[in-house]
Amino acid sequence: MSLQLQTVRDPAQLAEEAVGIIEDYGAQCLLENGHFLLSLAGGSTPKAVYRLWGERSVLTWDKLHLIYGDERCVPPDHPDSNAGMAAEALLDRLPIPPTTYRMEGENPNPEHAASDYENTLRGLFQRLGAIDLALLGIGGDGHTASLFPGAAAVHEQERLCVSTPAPDGKTMRLTLTAPALKGARRIMFMAAGSDKAEVIRQVVEGEVIPGKFPSQLFLRDEALQVTLLLDEAAATELSGQF
């Protein structure tokens, strides 16, 4: 398996390590290609990473291009918006903003919003190539981005972005699909806390059932270059034999 596991002491150290990886790889991409295309994740762990990254970064921000792995179907100023979170934690604090491609979660037709974002991505990939680094998290049910257990989006083979029901069955999400995310040159999962320990064990060491644990689409694909960055609490159930 090409999965690289990195375990750190606590969430604070996880943020430090994640920022180091993003900065180092970003600098490499800028040197080699003149740009750095990054896919952002939502959640509390990435939020802490973004705050620290904005404080520490020495990258040439006007050469960065940021896309989103998923979004809730809400306006960007809504408390649940991933774009809103990224703006508050990172983007609004930068002296030079990167080029950012936001999913239109406020669009009353989520399928149209997904189609529009897919068109944006196809044009972007044609100009810049693949995603350089995709940041992802792992939910308590094994989901990643907004690829949820049992959802048709998990099995999408062609579309780059789709709309999909949230687990509550009442609200909608927009999400990148496996074809979009598997095209990334590197993928980094981040997870912290003892409440993630059991699902991480099942995802990493258990039977491969992507329909049940969608994060396995990436964490158990040997063709991908994937880093799994955990704090000690999240790693407690792993045997290390994978």
What pLDDT digit, counting tens, does each position of 51-85 carry?
A: 999 999 999 999 999 999 999 999 999 999 999 99
What span, in angstroms and rounded, lies between the C-alpha atoms of 75 and 93? 20
What span, in angstroms and rounded, lies between the C-alpha atoms of 186 and 26? 11
Instruction: Please list the alpha-helical segments (H only) found in the chain.
Output: 11-33, 44-56, 82-89, 110-128, 178-181, 197-205, 216-219
What span, in angstroms and rounded, lies between the C-alpha atoms of 198 and 148? 17
Token pair in block for residue 190: 């981040």
Report the candidate in 190, 195, 207, 197 with the shortest Cα–Cα distance to residue 237: 197
For the chain, the structural domain boundaries read 4-231
C-beta separation of 146 from 174 below 8 A:
yes
What is the residue whose two structure tokens read 């600098």?
27
pLDDT of residue 241: 58
DSSP 240: S
Residue segments in the chain with a per-residue pLDDT below the cut of 70? 1, 240-242
**Topology (CATH) of 4-231:** Rossmann fold (3.40.50)
Amino acid at position 172, single letter: M
C-beta separation of 25 from 67 below 8 A:
no
Say whether pTM exceeds 0.75: yes
Rounded to a whole number of angstroms, the CA Rg of the chain reads 17
Strand partners, 173: 72, 164
What span, in angstroms and rounded, lies between the C-alpha atoms of 104 and 99? 16
What is the residue whose two structure tokens read 């994740």?
41
DSSP 164: E
C-beta separation of 69 from 39 below 8 A:
yes
